[in-house]
């Protein structure tokens, strides 16, 4: 049975500012139950909540909390990927268990109760789990339609990422050391071939990191304990990331690199956090637990002003994002959102929180499309100007980020962008002149505005737009004349005929509005020569800006939209 409830969410702003902007923290649950182990994918969050002695699965989709289970079965921490939520459940401890899948609409069992199936991982369209006659035996994968057995054997520590699956197993030589294996969607490869213990792999696509046993040991009250180093497979070769005679553990991985914590000894209280970005390794925190990473954004919990708090590191900046006075644990990241469990009123009353980064406001720039009249049939270039101002230095624009209607500027034969820096409007500040291929822009009939987006070299994003007028050249001869009038006359009063038959504004009807558009453009003739370069644009800009200022009745300066 599904139970739905809308919650009043408490929101406050984090005390510090992250590298990307301000973090907003939202309390998702406030129910006096033990809500724990949240996992997150996009805008969806799942967790376990103890209700009447049993742990139930809950889902939050950004606005509504839905209870996915309501029975007396024992179940695992749910895994989530998109709309898919997977967990395993059993009736009796140590007895048969089965994999359950909620696909965004319904909950169905993926396995029966005639064996062991556990530790499901939802990843992309797949659900991967261990099962067989023993709890850790074979590996299975469900692809949305069919369940396939990936391998048969004593697999442990199974991880999955998209079509890739990694695990630990004994090698075929019969030795007692464990090795790392990788399934790439079609075949299995043994990644390690050594005489030491490899354990606890983590996986991002075809990249794997794991603990590998060091020859040295640490002797303590309980006897000898092995040191473990961090090993990394980058898809091609195995690299040992540490060699420090310490205990490197709690490894996590993403496309942005590998993170782990380091303890000097098993009894040490220090948990230094290290980050390998694919090139070099740096320590990013002197203390941290419950590590998580997505891209190059890393989160963990550590002692705060009054209790354990959630911290985020990105681009060299560390930010405490959780509210003081709460005991926080288990952060997980997806995109610009971090979820965790928190307690501030004693054992048994954990609640789920999320923090979402609020990006810095996008800078608006003045864009001028020249000419404002656009012929959809033109095979030429469309000049566009971004005006420099005291607040926007166009020479600092990252040209690789420029997109007009989702398309970059024309690439010249020498491989460079067809752009230049000129003082188009004569104000003493450089402006950026770009040229875009008309046919590549994919402008649709009825379009009245084109938007330009981009970013400065420092990552500051900007946007701007300018109005355009699509000329009613219905027959594509690059002129608006009596022929186009005849086409419109033939279709006048018709509905659903399209631009080519006279619907100039693409509103689905050929009527007086289309006739007015044609009248305003009558006599238009597209340029047949080269598109004006910056020197010619100087004259065009001066006249255009003067006219624009008269229309807007502003004595100086330029407004958004040019």
Provide the pairing of β-strand 65-67 with 3-5.
antiparallel
Number of domains in the chain: 2
Q: How many CB atoms lie within 10 A of CB 359?
A: 11
Provide the pairing of β-strand 54-60 with 44-51.
antiparallel
Give domain status of residue 79, yes or no: yes
pLDDT of 5 reads 34
pLDDT of 18 reads 40
Angle between helices 482-491 and 512-521 (to 10 degrees): 180
Range among 55-59, 75-79, 518-522 rated most confident: 55-59
pLDDT digits (tens, 9 = 90+) for 375-431: 888 888 999 999 999 888 999 999 999 999 999 999 999 999 999 999 999 999 999
Q: Quote the CA–CA distance of 503 and 493 in Å, as a whole number.
A: 10
Helix (H) or strand (E) holding 515: helix 512-521
Q: Quote the CA–CA distance of 74 and 91 in Å, as a whole number.
A: 6
pLDDT digits (tens, 9 = 90+) for 88-112: 988 777 678 899 999 999 999 999 8
pLDDT digits (tens, 9 = 90+) for 196-238: 899 999 999 999 999 998 876 666 655 666 788 999 999 999 9
Give how far Cα 228 sits from Cα of 34, 44, 190, 203, 278, Å: 35, 35, 20, 18, 20
Strand partners, 391: none
Give domain status of residue 267, yes or no: no
Strand partners, 381: 437
pLDDT level of residue 436 (50, 70, 90 thresholds): very high
Domain boundary, last residue among 100, 123, 154: 154
Helix (H) or strand (E) holding 535: helix 534-552
pLDDT above 50 (res 49): yes
Q: Which of 177, 266, 263 is nearest to 218 (CA)?
A: 266
Helix (H) or strand (E) holding 550: helix 534-552
Q: What is the mean pLDDT of the chain?
A: 83
- HEC readout, 398-453: CHHHCEECCECCCECCCCCECEEEECCCCCCCCEEEEEEEHHHHCCCCCCCEEEEE
Give domain status of residue 319, yes or no: no
pLDDT digits (tens, 9 = 90+) for 274-313: 999 999 999 999 999 999 999 999 999 998 667 889 999 9
pLDDT of 540 reads 43
Helix (H) or strand (E) holding 543: helix 534-552
What's the CATH code of the domain at 147? Answer: 2.40.128
Residue listed under structure tokens 């064996």: 115
pLDDT digits (tens, 9 = 90+) for 108-153: 999 987 778 889 999 999 999 998 766 567 999 999 999 999 998 8
Q: Quote the CA–CA distance of 98 and 109 in Å, as a whole number.
A: 7
pLDDT above 80 (res 64): yes
- DSSP assignment of 338-364, as one string? EEEEEESSSTT--EEEEEEEEEPPPEE
Q: Are 440 and 379 in contact (CB under 8 A)?
A: no
Give domain status of residue 231, yes or no: no
Alpha-carbon dihedral sign for residues 363, 366, 369, 373: positive
Give domain status of residue 376, yes or no: yes
Give domain status of residue 397, yes or no: yes
Q: Are 432 and 388 in contact (CB under 8 A)?
A: yes
Main-chain dihedrals φ then ψ at residue 197, nearest 5 degrees: -80, 125
The two tokens of residue 561 are 């939209």
The two tokens of residue 489 are 């006359």
Main-chain dihedrals φ then ψ at residue 537, nearest 5 degrees: -65, -25
Domain boundary, last residue among 105, 139, 154: 154
Give domain status of residue 35, yes or no: no
pLDDT of 305 reads 67
pLDDT level of residue 459 (50, 70, 90 thresholds): confident
Q: Are 86 and 77 in contact (CB under 8 A)?
A: no
Domain boundary, last residue among 128, 154, 180: 154
Helix (H) or strand (E) holding 23: strand 21-27
pTM: 0.66
Alpha-carbon dihedral sign for residues 372, 373, 374, 379: negative
What's the CATH code of the domain at 425? Answer: 2.60.40
- DSSP assignment of 479-495, as one string? B-SHHHHHHHHHHTT-B
Range of the domain at 537: 366-471+524-552
Give domain status of residue 123, yes or no: yes
Residue listed under structure tokens 């230094």: 272
- DSSP assignment of 462-474, as one string? EEEEEE-EE---T
Give how far Cα 550 sits from Cα of 144, 443, 469, 543, 553, Å: 62, 29, 19, 11, 5
Q: Quote the CA–CA distance of 517 and 506 in Å, as a whole number.
A: 12
């Amino acid at each position: 049975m599904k139970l739905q409830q809308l919650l009043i969410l408490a929101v406050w702003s984090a005390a510090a500012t992250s590298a990307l902007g301000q973090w907003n923290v939202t309390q998702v649950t406030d129910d006096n139950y033990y809500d724990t182990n949240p996992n997150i994918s996009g805008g969806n969050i799942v967790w376990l909540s103890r209700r009447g002695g049993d742990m139930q699965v809950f889902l939050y989709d950004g606005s509504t909390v839905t209870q996915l289970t309501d029975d007396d079965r024992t179940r695992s921490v749910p895994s989530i990927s998109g709309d898919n939520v997977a967990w395993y459940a059993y009736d009796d401890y140590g007895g048969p268990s089965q994999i359950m899948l909620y696909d965004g609409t319904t909950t169905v069992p993926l396995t029966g109760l005639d064996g062991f199936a556990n530790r499901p991982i939802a990843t992309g369209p797949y659900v991967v789990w261990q099962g067989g006659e023993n709890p850790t035996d074979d590996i299975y994968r469900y692809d949305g339609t069919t369940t396939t057995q990936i391998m048969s054997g004593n697999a442990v520590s199974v991880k999955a990422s998209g079509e890739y699956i990694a695990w630990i197993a004994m090698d075929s030589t019969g030795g007692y050391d464990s090795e790392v294996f990788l399934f790439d969607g079609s075949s299995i490869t043994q990644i390690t071939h050594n005489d030491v213990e490899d354990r606890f792999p983590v996986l991002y696509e075809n990249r794997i990191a794991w603990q590998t046993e060091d020859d040295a040991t640490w002797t303590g009250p309980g006897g000898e304990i092995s040191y473990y180093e961090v090993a990394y497979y980058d898809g091609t070769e195995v690299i040992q990331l540490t060699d420090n005679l310490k205990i490197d553990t709690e490894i996590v991985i993403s496309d942005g690199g590998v993170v782990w914590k380091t303890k000097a000894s098993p009894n040490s209280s220090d948990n230094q956090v290290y980050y390998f970005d694919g090139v070099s390794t740096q320590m990013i925190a002197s203390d941290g637990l419950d590590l998580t990473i997505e891209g190059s954004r890393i989160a963990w919990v550590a002692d705060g002003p009054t209790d354990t708090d959630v911290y985020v590191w990105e681009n060299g900046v560390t930010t405490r994002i959780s509210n003081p006075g709460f005991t926080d644990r288990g952060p997980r990241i997806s995109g610009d959102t971090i979820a965790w469990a928190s307690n501030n009123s004693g054992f048994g009353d954990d609640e789920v929180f999320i923090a979402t980064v609020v990006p810095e406001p996008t800078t608006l720039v003045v864009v001028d499309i020249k000419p404002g009249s656009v012929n959809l049939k033109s095979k030429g270039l469309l000049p566009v100007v971004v005006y420099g101002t005291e607040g926007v230095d166009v020479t600092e624009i990252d040209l690789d980020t420029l997109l007009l209607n989702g398309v970059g500027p024309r690439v010249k034969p020498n491989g460079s962008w067809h752009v230049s820096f000129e003082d188009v409007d004569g104000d003493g500040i450089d402006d950026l002149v770009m040229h875009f291929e008309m046919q590549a822009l994919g402008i649709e009939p009825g379009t009245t505005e084109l938007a330009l987006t981009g970013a400065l070299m420092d990552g500051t994003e900007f946007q701007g737009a300018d109005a355009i007028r699509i000329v009613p050249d219905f027959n594509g001869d690059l002129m608006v004349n009596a022929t186009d009038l005849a086409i419109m006359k033939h279709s006048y009063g018709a509905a659903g005929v399209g631009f080519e038959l006279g619907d100039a504004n693409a509103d689905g009807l050929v009527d007086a509005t289309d006739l007015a558009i044609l009248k305003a453009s009558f006599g238009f003739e597209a340029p047949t020569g080269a598109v004006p370069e910056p020197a010619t644009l100087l004259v065009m800009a001066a006249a255009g800006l003067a006219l624009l200022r008269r229309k807007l009745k502003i004595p100086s300066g330029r407004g958004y939209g040019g």
